[in-house]
Structure 1
Amino acid sequence: MSGRLDVIRADIHTRGGRELANQMGFEYTPTFILFSADGAELWRQVGGLDVDRVRQSVGE
């Protein structure tokens, strides 16, 4: 990933956030989705974020 991780936070209480939630297929917050550089979904987690899982997934 060349040392960079982009984070997008969506507020589902806004029109744009609801549209993104519908597009990505999630209903509950928080929902964390990790994508590869080419846009493929690597994993999805609903609820609290497991920081160790994120670090392992991005190769840190």
Structure 2
Amino acid sequence: MFLSWVLLYAIIILGLFKTGDLTSSAASDRILGNITLHNSDYYADLYQIIWLYTIASTF
């Protein structure tokens, strides 16, 4: 259970770093799904982390 929370926070932090903005509300908007097209590499990382999160949450 603890590992799943750690991975959840990792998704959020990685998303903020990927968008390149840790302070503005625009970053939080993009991490909630309104990601611009030039951040398409973010989707690959996001899917990978969600997959790992899904596996970890089953244990």
- With structure 1 as the length reference, what TM-score do the two structures score? 0.30
Structure in which a larger fraction of residues adopt strand:
1
- With structure 2 as the length reference, what TM-score do the two structures score? 0.30
Higher RCO (CA-CA < 8 Å; seq separation 6+): 2
